[in-house]
A and B are shown apart, each in its own frame.
Chain A
Amino acid sequence: MNNYPDDRLYYEQHEWLKMLDEKTGLVGISYYAQDSLGDIVYLQAPETGKVVARGEEIAEIESVKAVSSIYSPVSGKIVEINEEVINSPEIINQDPYEKGWIFKIEITNPEELNTLMDAESYRKFIEEG
């Protein structure tokens, strides 16, 4: 099973970004991130309309083991939140890449996409720890 699909980019804090068109993309956390956290019990919603910088902490995710921060992999404006995962955060464990997306972002600096990892590099990044 491929835990790191090729149709998206990955950030060093273990978020993924999947561009839907030239401007907007979905962000979630990687298989590795949800697996390390364990059972996710709470997701603090990021604020819709908030303008964020790349690497900025925008939400908190809580599992039975830990509370971690979620960072934005790119600069932009948060335009939508996945209400379903706010209500049932366990969806992130079950399906981190499709139903488990967390927020939709309108990117402001397309060049930042070049700084993110593809699936192959991200897999190596995790293996190297």
Chain B
Amino acid sequence: MDYIPHSPEEIKSMLEELGIDSLDDLVALAVPEKARTRRKLNLEKPLSEAEVAAHLETLAARNASSKGFLSFAGAGAYHHFVPAVVDAIISRPEFFTAYTPYQPEASQGTLAAIFEFQTIIAELTGFEIANASMYDGPTALAEAVLMARRLSSKPYPGKVLVFEPLHPVYKKVLATYLEPHEIAVQFLSHTRGVPDHLNENKIAPDCFAAVISQPGFYGTIYDYRDQLKKLIEAGVLTIVVHDPHLLALLEPPGKLGADICVGEAQPLGNHLNFGGPLLGFMATKKEYLRQLPGRLVGETVDADGNRVFVMTLQTREQHIRREKATSNICTNEALCALAATVYASWLGPQGFRELSKQILLKTDYLYEKFEEIRKVHSLKPCFKDVVVELNGNAEELVDKCIKHGVIAGVPLSKLDPELPSNLLMVSVTEVTLKDDIDMLARIIAEEDR
């Protein structure tokens, strides 16, 4: 189906205006001889709509996904159950655009939903304010570090202390964002997933922020309260990367005195969608409001006294403040945030906690089961992810398991080539059954030699 915006009459009148006889003559004038291709383009013959659909379906069927396979792949994005109400609501045409609307106040429904999202994130993280969402967890972390840079009075460019293990993708994105600012990243080493003791003397005088991950990349939940206290005493702004489900089970960062909490909210009501889009969240203290990147929806009253919602504090954003903006993010993940909002509302506080507890118990079971067959690399307790030491190569094992209809996990060397090739990250959620875990253990015992 061609779409050519100009009618033959219009083309004729424009050519006459230019004093040119044909479109070919126009091209001859506009494109130099040597830049033109004379031969026919090497393209396959055109297909009908039905043929294209069939072709794409054939290609799609070659993918292994969490549908049709038993999947233990997680490592940052997880296969959770998404209640039907989520897709039913987000598919309504009023919501089904991922973009923050222009003239946003005309879209009160979208703003109300974002306001609810902010409220849910603020409640979960224990903070006073949360923004309308970020692109994903890693960019939310990078933005949080830049926000801390703006807040801190320590000398420029300064340093960030990252508690290992942090997800390799988060580290890469962080490095990309920090490089132009010449901010150095220092790492606190770890033992089997738990960061080592933090010696106060090791905190550099120009260290303005620290990044703590809960759980750490190896899935291990750890108590970071002592470290947090030392960092706060040293005038370091603390950023906690947190799993959203785990927030329901632990004292949240906002209540522990941390400064910013960020993370990946895809697990809340968003399908894996073959890797994206994801959903970053960010919450902080009210006193930092004016350095918070991204959009913010506020509640107010209109001229008639009705409760309404507005995009607030836009004066900090790039389309108004240009190079002095708090960030170059002038949008949010509105549709994904809506999915998370419907999901969390549907579960309710008690349901959210029960579900998170179920994930914790299932991870415990996975841990115990794997201890019977192999060495578990992560220390306990773990949440969603557990790292197992295989006898052989993890990538080869994953390939072998596919023929059993099982995606066994994510080989860590795929995320960070410097990590040992025998480490496999196995992930569970509430959808994983005890029998599934038993079966995986059996298959691994048999296939990993």
Q: Which residues does A use to contact B, with CB under 8 Å?
A: 42, 44, 62-67, 69
Contacts and interface: CB of A to CB of B under 8 A. Distances in A.
B315 A66 contact: yes
A40 to B, nearest CB: 11
Contacts of B321: 66-67
12 contacts: A42-B290, A44-B290, A62-B315, A63-B315, A64-B315, A65-B315, A66-B320, A66-B321, A67-B320, A67-B321, A67-B324, A69-B324
Interface string B115-146: 00000000000000000000000000000000
Nearest to B289: A42
Interface in B280-315: 290, 315
B347 to A, nearest CB: 37
Chain B interface: which size bin? under 10
A120 to B, nearest CB: 33
A98 to B, nearest CB: 27
Interface of A is mostly: strand
A72 to B, nearest CB: 18
B316 interface: yes
Contacts of B320: 66-67
* A-B interface, 9 closest residue pairs, ranked by CB to CB distance from nearest: A67-B315, A66-B315, A67-B321, A62-B315, A67-B316, A66-B320, A42-B290, A65-B315, A44-B290
**Max chain B CB contacts within 10 Å: which of A42, A44, A69?**
A42
A64 B300 CA distance: 14
Nearest to A66: B315
A60 to B, nearest CB: 8
Contacts of A66: 315, 320-321
A46 to B, nearest CB: 13
A44 B151 CA distance: 12
**Max chain A CB contacts within 10 Å: which of B290, B315, B320?**
B315
Nearest to B153: A47
A65 B321 CA distance: 10
Contacts of B316: 67
A44 B315 CA distance: 14
A42 B289 CA distance: 12
A41 B320 CA distance: 16
Contacts of A44: 290
Contacts of B315: 62-67
Contacts of A42: 290
Given A64-B315, A65-B315, A66-B320, 5 more contacts: A44-B290, A66-B315, A66-B321, A67-B316, A69-B324
Contacts of A64: 315
Contacts of A63: 315
Nearest to A57: B324
Contacts of B290: 42, 44, 62
A69 to B, nearest CB: 8
Contacts of A62: 290, 315
Contacts of B324: 67, 69
**Max chain B CB contacts within 10 Å: which of A44, A64, A67, A69?**
A67
Nearest to A69: B324
Interface in B397-428: none
Nearest to A62: B315
A66 B319 CA distance: 11
A65 B316 CA distance: 10
Contacts of A69: 324
A44 B290 CA distance: 9
Contacts of A65: 315
A69 B290 CA distance: 14
Interface string B255-266: 000000000000
B313 to A, nearest CB: 8
